[in-house]
Amino acid sequence: MHLLNPAFITELLVDWGYLGIFVCVFVGNLGVPVPEETVVLAAGFLAGQEILELKTVYAVVVVSAIIGDTCGYLLGRTGGQRLIERLAGHFVFVRSRYERIQVFFRDHGPKAVFMARFITGARFLAGPMAAAVGMNFWRFLAWNVLGALVWCGVMVAIGYLVVDELWRVIATTQTAGQLGALAVVLILIALYFFWRHEHRTTGKAKS
């Protein structure tokens, strides 16, 4: 069976349990091509079937996501950034995402760590990129934790609640996830410009 096959991933998690969830999500956040969304959805599905315990699934997914991104940040601080640049020079897939995320991080700062969590193919670059632009570790960690709590909660809940329709959801999750991420980004950008406009207006009024 192909690794992307949801049935195969479900069987894998049944055999390996929480350790399998942790490893898949952790290495996915480091850039290994593991279908994290499918793994987390399948974990939620197994919790809905009472094969795994829901609270433990959520805790494992969140912790592995946070640790994976944090390791990416530390790798970015210790030379991992040069590796990504080399990969970007050889692979169009990496280069296109690298260039977009580089601009995105410089424009939006720490909030980009949160937003990248919802973008397939960009998630593993969040840590190294945050380190590359000189983001303070504690600010990175705060946004990393917030993004993991929200993203993991949504994905586990979908897997837990959808149950019988899970595989149909998985088939469309990447497209829907990208559209949803775009909507989130646009909303946050709009809110940012609204806040800046209000801040400037208030400043002028006081002066």
Range of the domain at 162: 6-171
pLDDT at site 119 = 76
* CA 88 – CA 86 distance, rounded (Å): 5
Residue 207 lies in a domain: no
Residue 178 lies in a domain: no
Residue 194 lies in a domain: no
Give CA torsion, residues 172, 178, 182, 185, to 10 deg.
120
pLDDT at site 4 = 54
Residue 1 lies in a domain: no
Q: Is the separation of the CB atoms in 48 and 161 below 8 Å?
A: yes
- Who contacts 141 (Cβ-Cβ below 8 Å, separation ≥6)? 66, 70
Closest-CA residue to 161 (of 55, 50, 45, 57): 45
Q: Is the separation of the CB atoms in 117 and 147 below 8 Å?
A: yes
Q: For the chain, what is the domain count?
A: 1
pLDDT at site 160 = 86
Residue 23 lies in a domain: yes
pLDDT at site 93 = 62
Residue 80 lies in a domain: yes
Residue 81 lies in a domain: yes
Give pLDDT tens digits along the chain (207 positions): 344 566 777 788 888 899 999 999 998 887 676 778 888 988 998 998 889 999 999 999 999 999 999 998 888 777 656 666 676 677 666 666 667 777 777 777 778 888 888 877 677 777 887 887 778 889 999 999 999 999 999 889 888 887 556 556 555 554 545 445 444 445 555 555 555 665 566 555 555
pLDDT at site 58 = 95
pLDDT at site 191 = 54
